[in-house]
Chain A
């Protein structure tokens, strides 16, 4: 399966390609990680928030009992604090201002209205419970499609409508209209909550000596958090230090600037002691981290032989009440238009998108971002085309996928596919799931009343896309060169400072492997320093599956330069011509002997008298920047195949088998990649079958505890069988590609296609996620009734 790659580290078992156990697991698996909630600071007090109980209302008054005045703060107290503004430069984008504490109106259930501080969280909650709100309820905007209709209530009155942004993309759609196969459907995905094991959390304190606010926050992008805080608080960035310690899963939820972060920063600077807020599960479900809610009206055009002629789509995304910082309210919907064609060739295409404001929490980019919804819509349509053409679903895909000989390939929306063999991934998935055996089994019928179905899906994941892509979005954050600092310590250890963060991705291991690859030193001697604006180079942080490509590239560049400087010093110590020595296995070697990096470091720091006269004064500390040769992104991809059993009378879906054939370019640590895929798969299963945050017509979120918001557990996640292909990216260091999100993209489509395959003979079609027992039985009963009526 995997070919051994030729890198300098060769067979050391620690370099690029090694299945090295994660270094960080020694602390994390023993419960010794240090998360925000573990931080103890003298004088710390706890904050609880009074949150809006209504989705949309005018605030007439906030009543604080006399005895709690001084412990409760409202918008009126927050002088000098600006609202959160995440503006996109895309033409027509309407700006929302998110006050950190509500003023005038509340626009979502859970919106912060007042901040209560007390020695313990329980006491702070007692205070919060004593505050009463006088609210005048307004009609809630709870349905994104109705929100687009004239006469709808308005989330932001001065806009005149509820549309953050409308986009249009068209390539010659007229050419597709005469296609013999034309299938149109409405497809939708539910609103979800990201639900990392650890929620958000903030500990804010102020250091008078440094004149510096220190914010500990469970954050993926500490440098961006700092910029956002500086803007809201009107402070110089140098007066703010953001530290993100161990983080228990991010998925996008920890990629945004929180009103809570701004509130606590203000509070600690005004009350004179450190303060803390730890998100609880109800706050998480009710008040934050919404994602995924898409609606598609989509038509696929194809020839009789299944060749795609075009896709025409109108996509709507429920963006919630505010544009969140830095990704904005339109990233998701506008991204739909550019990625909907997926890995397929097609001559015609049209997509119109709407980012709609509603009285719900802001939508945030969740692992896979728009891709999970796009893959769901497109792959369900491909199966319908297959049914119309009388072909196996796998066959239709093989006919339309971009072919390896076309690489690199610019697709219809001008996405630049760097490399890969997509049909091969699909063929391998079909073989591994043994499609023929399943068809045979289906022919025999089942004895337990359940029906078997098989489904496939395939996607591509653009990752680590950089300046050229994000400049076009014009959002508050545009990634440029990624930097890393490499420093040899006097005793020969290596410290690496990177601005990305690790919240489950294993960067402390994989970046050490990169350093080992470049310098040959034992990974045990490599320390990765991340998650602290005071200690690391600026970075947009960890998002968009970019960290291995970008920070990995930067670490390689810094280590390369560090190695070069060490080599020159080593040559002097060996009394060799620099041209005649090489750096190998952590030492500089010449014909007459070798000198270790440790000895070289000792010389630079402790015995400078032995250094060559022309030594690079930069010494053994190097900061280097990196960008891939092309920054339009790496394209990893995977074919997923699922076998399910569906009970049409109870509606239960059991996943019997699951196969993933993945190509993420060169894998720095295949074991870490497997972990990423399994974790993504679990979330994809959640999207497919379990997770849904429903709202009632007054905009109340209805799944407010984990008894109602169902997450898949260990028993619900199939033991997937993984297969890797490794087509290097031509543009990146080592040929790596970003793979962090892919696992979560394809499962809903594969599982839905499998369910539909099982139920199609009954005349049933599921076009909405999650596929719940109720939805299945409802559809089955409706189909049976239709059949009775027809008879």
Chain B
């Protein structure tokens, strides 16, 4: 389990990094290395060049305004868990971060790397979609923004273009009236989830975002989830949660196995109960 030979660069500014990526089509970015490391060692990827972005101070910044938090791509899970970054989600992100993998992985793993890797079972992929986060992507040609659910397009597939980098993640502030529920089922602590349910329900605003994650492909993101609660989102949403609609959504996403669907629906139900608790 040793990687195939590759060249290595550790640029000091973002433009230099972007230029290296533009110049070498098979280059791979490494951030925390927690996903890329194993893939290199298993020779699942064999890039000619690895561009280590861990020296880009600009990507480590975290800034919050009244209605938005901007996290640089290199912010680690542990930074969020420990509260070293500001929080606009009233603890929602801290809770998610604290249950990613093991502490050793959280010390190095980054939020940008996690999203870019686009593992369907990764926590940020589902949690940030439920929170309504957006990403800034940058290349030599300029920057664009995408919603998380538009960024993760399939299993280990993102909307990143060649030469592009995830620069920052924008998380909208969670309304005081919004309830948050996040549940996942792992067979053991630190293991990737087999089912994730994430819900952001605002009974006052009658809105709900629901995410069913850790399916074989990009998570199911329901931005207007009234149908899952009998057609409207009110204070009694927990009682009105409709497991059959959830089951249909999961079946529509291509999961034919009734056992898996049942587990996903049950985990989503846990998230709804947590939000309502």
Tell me, rounded to whole Å, the shortest Cβ–Cβ distance linking A35 to chain B: 18
User: Complex Cα distance A263/B217, Å?
Assistant: 44
Tell which of B38, B189, B194, B266 touches A649, judged by Cβ atoms closer than 8 Å.
B266
Binds B, one of A226-234, A497-505, A728-736, A772-780: A772-780
Binds A, one of B1-9, B155-163, B170-178, B228-236: B1-9
Q: Does B43 contact A (CB under 8 A)?
A: yes
Q: Does A481 contact B (CB under 8 A)?
A: no
Tell which of A122, A281, A649, A710 touches B187, judged by Cβ atoms closer than 8 Å.
A710
Question: What residue of chain A has the Cβ atom nearest to residue B102's Cβ?
Answer: A713
User: Complex Cα distance A774/B187, Å?
Assistant: 10
Q: Does B141 contact A (CB under 8 A)?
A: no
Q: Are the C-beta atoms of A650 and B5 separated by less than 8 Å?
A: no
User: Complex Cα distance A151/B66, Å?
Assistant: 73
Residues of A within 8 A of B266 (CB): 647, 649-650
User: Complex Cα distance A120/B5, Å?
Assistant: 12
Q: Does A579 contact B (CB under 8 A)?
A: no
Binds A, one of B10-18, B124-132, B256-264: B256-264
Q: Are the C-beta atoms of B263 and A121 separated by less than 8 Å?
A: no
Question: What residue of chain A has the Cβ atom nearest to residue B194's Cβ?
Answer: A773
Q: Are the C-beta atoms of A781 and B3 separated by less than 8 Å?
A: no
Tell which of B2, B42, B263, B267 touches A705, judged by Cβ atoms closer than 8 Å.
B42
Tell which of B4, B43, B188 touches A710, judged by Cβ atoms closer than 8 Å.
B188
Interface string of B1-39 (1 = CB under 8 A from A): 111110000000000000000000000000000000010
Q: Does B224 contact A (CB under 8 A)?
A: no
Q: Are the C-beta atoms of A715 and B263 separated by less than 8 Å?
A: no
Q: Does B237 contact A (CB under 8 A)?
A: no
Residues of B within 8 A of A715 (CB): 188-189
**Which of B2, B43, B185, B194 is most buried by chain A, counting CB atoms within 10 A of its CB?**
B2
Q: Does B151 contact A (CB under 8 A)?
A: no
Chain A interface residue bracket vs B? 20 to 34
Interface residues of A in 757-791 (CB under 8 A from B): 772-774, 777-778, 781
Q: Does B191 contact A (CB under 8 A)?
A: yes
Number of A-B contacts (CB under 8 A): 64
Q: Are the C-beta atoms of B262 and A281 separated by less than 8 Å?
A: no
Question: What residue of chain A has the Cβ atom nearest to residue B187's Cβ?
Answer: A710
**Which of B42, B188, B192, B194 is most buried by chain A, counting CB atoms within 10 A of its CB?**
B188
User: Complex Cα distance A93/B258, Å?
Assistant: 45
Residues of B within 8 A of A712 (CB): 188
Q: Does A716 contact B (CB under 8 A)?
A: yes
With A690-B187, A712-B188 known to touch, is A280 a contact of B263 (CB < 8 Å)?
no
Q: Does A97 contact B (CB under 8 A)?
A: no
Question: What residue of chain B has the Cβ atom nearest to residue A777's Cβ?
Answer: B259
User: Complex Cα distance A536/B221, Å?
Assistant: 66
Q: Are the C-beta atoms of B187 and A772 separated by less than 8 Å?
A: yes
User: Complex Cα distance A652/B192, Å?
Assistant: 15
Tell which of A125, A650, A713 touches B188, judged by Cβ atoms closer than 8 Å.
A713
Q: Does B190 contact A (CB under 8 A)?
A: yes
Q: Are the C-beta atoms of B191 and A710 separated by less than 8 Å?
A: yes
Q: Are the C-beta atoms of B42 and A713 separated by less than 8 Å?
A: no
Q: Are the C-beta atoms of A129 and B263 separated by less than 8 Å?
A: no
With A707-B192, A715-B189 known to touch, is A777 a contact of B42 (CB < 8 Å)?
no
Residues of B within 8 A of A129 (CB): 4, 43
Q: Does A282 contact B (CB under 8 A)?
A: yes
Residues of B within 8 A of A713 (CB): 188-190
Q: Are the C-beta atoms of B2 and A122 separated by less than 8 Å?
A: yes
Tell me, rounded to whole Å, the shortest Cβ–Cβ distance linking B123 to chain A: 15
User: Complex Cα distance A171/B44, Å?
Assistant: 56
Q: Are the C-beta atoms of A777 and B263 separated by less than 8 Å?
A: yes
Q: Are the C-beta atoms of A716 and B194 separated by less than 8 Å?
A: no
Interface string of B186-224 (1 = CB under 8 A from A): 011111101100000000000000000000000000000
Tell me, rounded to whole Å, the shortest Cβ–Cβ distance linking B155 to chain A: 14
Interface string of B239-262 (1 = CB under 8 A from A): 000000000000000000011101
Residues of B within 8 A of A125 (CB): 1-2, 43
Question: What residue of chain A has the Cβ atom nearest to residue B269's Cβ?
Answer: A649
User: Complex Cα distance A778/B260, Å?
Assistant: 9
Q: Does A651 contact B (CB under 8 A)?
A: yes
User: Complex Cα distance A85/B269, Å?
Assistant: 57
Q: Does A137 contact B (CB under 8 A)?
A: no
Residues of B within 8 A of A689 (CB): 187
Interface residues of A in 698-716 (CB under 8 A from B): 705, 707, 710, 712-713, 715-716
Q: Are the C-beta atoms of A651 and B188 separated by less than 8 Å?
A: no
Q: Are the C-beta atoms of A716 and B188 separated by less than 8 Å?
A: yes
Residues of A within 8 A of B3 (CB): 122
User: Complex Cα distance A126/B194, Å?
Assistant: 35
With A129-B4, A129-B43, A282-B1 known to touch, is A773 a contact of B192 (CB < 8 Å)?
no
Question: What residue of chain A has the Cβ atom nearest to residue B38's Cβ?
Answer: A705
With A713-B188, A772-B187 known to touch, is A781 a contact of B262 (CB < 8 Å)?
yes
Interface string of B31-56 (1 = CB under 8 A from A): 00000001000110000000000000
Question: What residue of chain B has the Cβ atom nearest to residue A649's Cβ?
Answer: B266
Tell which of A121, A281, A778 touches B2, judged by Cβ atoms closer than 8 Å.
A121
Q: Are the C-beta atoms of B191 and A281 separated by less than 8 Å?
A: no
Residues of A within 8 A of B42 (CB): 282, 705
Interface string of B144-158 (1 = CB under 8 A from A): 000000000000000
Residues of A within 8 A of B43 (CB): 125, 129
Residues of B within 8 A of A772 (CB): 187
Tell which of B1, B5, B189 touches A281, judged by Cβ atoms closer than 8 Å.
B1
Interface residues of A in 281-297 (CB under 8 A from B): 281-282
Tell me, rounded to whole Å, the shortest Cβ–Cβ distance linking A498 to chain B: 36
User: Complex Cα distance A122/B40, Å?
Assistant: 12
Q: Are the C-beta atoms of B4 and A650 separated by less than 8 Å?
A: no
Residues of B within 8 A of A121 (CB): 2
Q: Are the C-beta atoms of A649 and B262 separated by less than 8 Å?
A: yes
User: Complex Cα distance A120/B269, Å?
Assistant: 52
Residues of A within 8 A of B263 (CB): 649-651, 773-774, 777
Residues of A within 8 A of B190 (CB): 713
Residues of A within 8 A of B4 (CB): 126, 129
User: Complex Cα distance A81/B185, Å?
Assistant: 51
Tell me, rounded to whole Å, the shortest Cβ–Cβ distance linking A691 to chain B: 11
Residues of A within 8 A of B267 (CB): 650
User: Complex Cα distance A486/B212, Å?
Assistant: 67
Residues of A within 8 A of B195 (CB): 650
Tell me, rounded to whole Å, the shortest Cβ–Cβ distance linking A684 to chain B: 15
Q: Are the C-beta atoms of A773 and B189 separated by less than 8 Å?
A: no
Interface residues of A in 96-152 (CB under 8 A from B): 120-122, 125-126, 129
Tell which of A126, A650, A707, A710 touches B185, judged by Cβ atoms closer than 8 Å.
A650
Q: Are the C-beta atoms of B259 and A781 separated by less than 8 Å?
A: yes
Tell which of B38, B187, B270 touches A773, judged by Cβ atoms closer than 8 Å.
B187
User: Complex Cα distance A749/B159, Å?
Assistant: 49
Tell me, rounded to whole Å, the shortest Cβ–Cβ distance linking A376 to chain B: 20
Residues of A within 8 A of B260 (CB): 774
Residues of A within 8 A of B259 (CB): 774, 777-778, 781
User: Complex Cα distance A777/B260, Å?
Assistant: 9
User: Complex Cα distance A710/B192, Å?
Assistant: 11
Q: Are the C-beta atoms of B38 and A777 separated by less than 8 Å?
A: no
User: Complex Cα distance A715/B2, Å?
Assistant: 30
User: Complex Cα distance A650/B270, Å?
Assistant: 10
Interface residues of A in 701-756 (CB under 8 A from B): 705, 707, 710, 712-713, 715-716
Residues of A within 8 A of B38 (CB): 705
**Which of B42, B259, B266 is most buried by chain A, counting CB atoms within 10 A of its CB?**
B259
Pull 10 A–B residue pairs with CB atoms less than 8 Å apart, ordered by A: A129-B43, A649-B263, A650-B270, A652-B185, A689-B187, A707-B191, A710-B187, A713-B188, A715-B188, A777-B262
Which residues of B does A touch, CB under 8 Å?
A: 1-5, 38, 42-43, 185, 187-192, 194-195, 258-260, 262-263, 266-267, 269-270
Q: What are the 3 tightest A-B residue pairs by CB atom distance, in nearest-first order?
A: A122-B2, A649-B266, A715-B189
Extra A-B contacts (16), CB below 8 Å, given A125-B43, A650-B263, A710-B187: A120-B2, A122-B3, A122-B5, A125-B2, A126-B4, A649-B266, A649-B269, A650-B267, A651-B185, A690-B188, A707-B192, A715-B188, A716-B188, A773-B194, A774-B259, A774-B263
